[in-house]
Structures are given as structure tokens and as C-alpha cells.
Amino acid sequence: MFKNVFGSGFLVRTAHVILTWVITLILFLHDTELRQQEETGQLVQPVLFVLLVLGSVLLYFAVSLMDPGFILSEDRDLQFTLGVTEEQQDMIPPTTKSLRQRRCGHCLLQQQPMRSKHCQTCQHCVRRYDHHCPWIENCVGERNHRWFVLYLAVQLLVLLWGVHIAWTGFSAAPSWQQWLRSDGVLLAVAALLALLSLVVLLLLGSHLYLVSLNTTTWEFMARHRISYLKHCGADENPFDRGTFHNLWGFYCVWGTVVWEQVYFREGSDQV
């Protein structure tokens, strides 16, 4: 399930964890509401904040180290077919939806399942490939996409709470120079947290939007280059089953989906 912890992403993960706990420590060391409540024995908010930070770190490692849906070349159950041979494909008009048995030239996979893609960084084909995220140093795919979205939501909550905590630690000073000397570090932390909050908010919003349409980042960005989407209309998504069913399938349905069956469901141009 998990990849080698000491792989190429070890430094990225270590830097993420160190930065997270250093910022948390700074928020406790300055005269913020966390420290004030800690000194007065009101430990509910400090404990909740630490637990939330810990939860975000654990989710980060889970998403980062989890198998995103790697396809092994020896998998026998991937040879899904709709009965379309190479000879029959030549007889199908180019405007008709047709399933070509795509072969991966990198990992020698005989047949890529629909919506999968080879990741040059991970050196594997990934089921329902979304993108390769350098932040987690892992692909986001079928198995960890929902956990990635959950991680973004928890991380956003931590960051926004951190901005609020940092804001409560600013104190008045007779001059800008004295204020910067006393609160300069806290100001830098607040600015960093605000910037990260904006980035995570945009990421979370974009992923929730794409999930509601049952499309992926790769399909959204490279639609014109993807064989099974080339002949669809600009606003046509063969995997869209309605917002409710899309969200339900993403969050509540576990296991591998045979997307070829969804693509050629009743009402589509079948072969």
C-alpha cells in the first residue's frame, strides 16, 4: 500500500513536517491567544489546534505514501475489452466514440484502462490519473484522490486558524522599528500562512469543481489530446452522471471502476 518512505520525496516530506511544527511552535511562543489560554489553564483550544495540526500531518503522510492506483504490468484483470479488434477499429468513423486498446510505451503495459496515464516521475501508469503533485511528491489518482481533497480541507482549516492566531499576537509599539523587532517573526508567519491559505483554497475549490463534474485535472487541461475525449463536444463529458451521483461516487463508492462501461453506457454511441 505504501511506497518506500525514504524515496525521492523524503526531503520534501521532511521539510513539510519541520515547517509545520516550527510555525506551530512560533504561534505558541509569541503572546497569542494560544499562549494566553495555555498560561491560564484553558487548554481546550490549544489542544484542539495541536490535534488538528497533527491530523493534517498524518493525512499528508497518508496521501503522500499511499498507492494512488499504480497499475502493474503483470495485472491480469486489466485486459478489459469491448470486443473491438484493431481491424474493426479501422471501420469505425472517426466521429464515433470508440475504445482503442492503448499500450504504454514506458512501462510496457499491454492495455491501459480508460482514464489512466503514465507518470514520468513515478514511472507507473496510474488509474484515474489526476496529476502528479510535487507538494506530496506522489501522484493523485483513483485510490488517494478523495484523501487528497480531505487533506486540502483540513490543511485549509489549519492555515486559516493559524492566521487568526497570529493576528491575536500582534502588539502595539511606539514605532515601526520596535514593532518589527518584537513582531517581525510573527508577521512573517502570518504572511506565509495567508499565502498558503490562498493557494490551498484555490486548489480545494478547483478539485471540488472538477469532482462535481466527474473529470480530472489531466482531462480538463489536456482534453484535446486525450483519445477518448477528442470526439466529444466541448461541453460533453461522457463520465458525468449528475452532480449528486458524481459526488456520491467519488466519496462513497470504494473500489475500482471500469470506466469503459460508463463511457459506453446506454445512451452513448456504442460500438
Residue 269 has a pLDDT of 42
Residue 87 has a pLDDT of 35
Looking at residues 109-137, what average pLDDT do you find? 88
Residue 270 has a pLDDT of 37
Residue 98 pLDDT grade (very low, low, confident, very high; cuts 50, 70, 90): low
Amino acid at 20: T
Closest CA to 98 of 85, 110, 111, 108: 85
Mean of pLDDT over the chain: 83
Cα angle 125-129-133, degrees, rounded to a multiple of 5:
100
Looking at residues 61-86, what average pLDDT do you find? 66
**How do 124-126 and 117-119 pair as beta strands?**
antiparallel
Residue 8 has a pLDDT of 61
Residue 152 has a pLDDT of 98
Q: Which residues contact 239 (CB under 8 A, 6 or more apart)?
A: 115, 214, 215, 259, 262, 263
Percentage of the chain exceeding pLDDT 70 = 82
Looking at residues 220-227, what average pLDDT do you find? 88
**Residues forming beta bridges with residue 132, ordered by sequence position:** 139
Looking at residues 145-152, what average pLDDT do you find? 97
Q: Which of 125-129, 163-167, 168-172, 228-232 has the lowest mean pLDDT?
A: 228-232
Residue 110 has a pLDDT of 61
Looking at residues 252-262, what average pLDDT do you find? 85
Residue 261 has pLDDT above 90, yes or no: no
Looking at residues 69-87, what average pLDDT do you find? 53
Alpha-carbon torsion 249, 251, 254, 259, what sign? positive
Does the active-site annotation cover 133?
A: yes
Structure-model confidence comparison of residues 259 and 141, the more confident one? 141
Residue 106 has a pLDDT of 72
Q: Of these residues, 125, 133, 139, 252, which one is catalytic?
A: 133
Residue 267 has a pLDDT of 41
Residue 83 has pLDDT above 70, yes or no: no
Are the CB atoms for 126 and 113 separated by under 8 Å?
A: no
> Does this model's pTM top 0.95?
no
Are the CB atoms for 31 and 73 separated by under 8 Å?
A: no
